Amino acid sequence: MNQTKKLYLDDFTKNTCQAHVMHAFREKDRDVVILDQTLFYPQGGGQPCDQGTIQNDQTIFNVQDVRLIDGIVKHFGVFTSTPFEIGQEVYCKLDSERRMLHSRLHSAGHVLDKTLYELGFNWIPGKSYHFPNGPYVEYSGNLHNVDIDKLKNDIENLCNVWGTHGMPVTSKVVDKKTVLANEQLIRRCAFLANLPDNKPIYVITYGDDFASPCSGTHITNVSEIGHIMIRKIKESDGTIRISYDIRSLPNGE
């Protein structure tokens, strides 16, 4: 089967699209829909999946879960009436509030990376978790001689200066050779070994020059995140975990 065209990588602001049904079937008591292209982000990279609806004149498919398996995006959910037939044209609509929250939480992780870099910490980015229930980013490094309260304040201040003044977020597509030729990109890529050889790689840049390979969804300006608050900074066995939260600005989303 052809791989799904992943529209969610190309335009972070789009919430609706047309698509064609490639497959609609049942799998382990759940209905599954596969489209030729989709805006629904599949859970991965520490970011939860999108939800929303896929519909035509006859039926609505409520999307509850989305997974990426071998390049194919599987939408799991429930039909309100008869299932789709192969080849039908359908209309996809994201739960845009949910998407926006997840993009803000995920982008806050990139802003934290940039903040630490600007503050002179050479920690290597590792695992990240951008779910609403306790998001965090992890780094290899240690907190010897680090004043944690001061670091918390410094991070929050810098994040919120960028949030207040705004900072554009841009995306471009490169190949693996380009990533391997750029030391900055190599440093920020915890999953370098897994980067595909012959597929486009999405590189996201925060501000003028802070770039990292990433296949998540992002906001288009740091000002959309709102306030970033650092809940906790702790280290165990060379892994530093920074737990954070975000809060909408009064006039924001």
In the complex, the residues that contact Zn ion under the rule CB under 5 A are 214, 216
Contact 223, 167 (CB under 8 A): yes
Instruction: State the residue number with the nearest CB to Zn ion.
Output: 214
Smallest distance, Zn ion to C-beta of residue 113, A? 9
Comparison of 111 and 214: residue with beta carbon closer to Zn ion: 214
Between CA 48 and CA 59 the distance in angstroms is 26
Between CA 125 and CA 191 the distance in angstroms is 10
With 0-12 CB in 10 A as exposed, 13-18 as middle and 19+ as buried, what is 37? middle
For the chain, give the longest Cα–Cα distance. Answer: 64
Comparison of 80 and 184: residue with beta carbon closer to Zn ion: 184
Between CA 247 and CA 105 the distance in angstroms is 10
Smallest distance, Zn ion to C-beta of residue 54, A? 26
Comparison of 201 and 214: residue with beta carbon closer to Zn ion: 214
Comparison of 109 and 163: residue with beta carbon closer to Zn ion: 109
Smallest distance, Zn ion to C-beta of residue 253, A? 19
Comparison of 19 and 110: residue with beta carbon closer to Zn ion: 110
Structure tokens at 163: 């949030």
Query: CA 21 from chain center: how many Å?
Result: 25
Smallest distance, Zn ion to C-beta of residue 47, A? 8
Smallest distance, Zn ion to C-beta of residue 206, A? 10
**Secondary structure percentages of the chain, helix, strand, coil, to 5:** 25, 40, 35
